[in-house]
Amino acid sequence: MKKQILVAGGTGYIGSHTTVELQNNGFEVIIADNLSNSKIEVLDGIEAITGIRPIFEKVDLSVIEETEAFFKKYSKVQAIIHFAANKAVGESVAKPLMYYRNNLNSLMNILEAMKEHKIPNLVFSSSCTVYGQPDKLPVTESTPRKEAESPYGNTKSISEDIIRDTVKAHPELKGIALRYFNPIGAHPSSKIGELPLGVPNNLIPFITQTVAGIRPELSVFGDDYSTPDGSCIRDYINVVDLAKAHVVAIERLLKNKNDSNYEYFNVGTGQGISVLEIIEGFERSTGKKVPHKIVARRPGDVEQIYADTSFANKTLGWKSESSLDDTLLSAWKWQENLK
């Protein structure tokens, strides 16, 4: 019998790609999503790729009554991957209470359900934002967490603490937090990809929409940082590579290979790429020009951060494999496929 995995936020960008990889690896997936920043048509793309349509329930996991009703119906899941959260740095600065309410309540409701229904395994979608602006690069798992630069980042730090404390108090539970860096790209089939509702908050969909003529130009937030070209530096990881890391983490929990009840791993490429380098790479890989202008810095942005992934490489047996050019090209092909 296939093992049942709940993917909370499974119609979202990373959740949908992870659902594909789970189904390709023989898991049965149940998706719970409130569709606040995704579309139900994502299920069509998942089915077109895998031949399997995942079970779907529209539910807001930040609402305790909806969460309780959902888990009464699906109490036999063996593991949960929790993606269901608001995720835009800039928006979190403007709407902090929305971020704290949604991101923290959904996690606590899930943990309560795990206790009640004896669901032992959780993989949590964390973020490199927990490191703030690090003093030393690249960041390792032993790099101290810093005060977050944004309410979004703070919800990730607080969520990690909530999981750590909960599994300590309830040793029958296990959790893995994947601290990932900047996911980009789309599935090579162009059936699923990053499709934010409204104006994109992330760099790559803004680039692709600008090149497609949907946006007039891309704003580059600052060229006066202490980086080689003055623009912010991030670690951009292919979304399919990232999705595969979640499958590996789930298998680690199900096979009881975890070294403790709570583990955390950096999931990135180990390479820092600037915003201007991303624009150059996009133009190189697609042959398309990106209209852009330099504007003032954006509140909440970290100057530069990239990962040391050696711990995840060794312990999980996982590593990123996709090239930057291939990843950027996949994002453009996905955008073209939306026409």
Q: Which residues are catalytic?
A: 152
Q: Cβ contacts of residue 226 below 8 Å, gap of 6+?
A: 303
Longest alpha-carbon distance in the chain: 56
Q: Where are the alpha helices (DSSP H) in 174-238?
A: 203-211
What are the backbone angles phi and psi of residue 111, rounded to the nearest 5°? -65, -40
CA dist., res. 107 & res. 138, Å (int) = 29
Kind plus residue range of the DSSP H or E element containing 227? none
Q: Kind and range of the H or E element at 42?
A: helix 42-50
The residue behind tokens 């709407």 is 95
What's the alpha-carbon Rg for the chain, to the nearest Å? 19
The helix or strand, by DSSP H or E, that contains position 115, with its residue range, turns out to be helix 96-117
- Taking alpha carbons only, the member of 308, 303, 311, 327 closest to residue 129 is 303
The runs of H, that is alpha helices, within 185-274 are 203-211, 239-254
Q: Report how far residue 153's alpha carbon sits from residue 130's, in angstroms, rounded to the nearest whole number.
A: 6
| Tokens of residue 101, six digits | 């309410």
Parallel/antiparallel/unpaired status of strands 121-127 and 79-82: parallel
- Other CB atoms closer than 10 Å to residue 295's CB: what's the count? 12
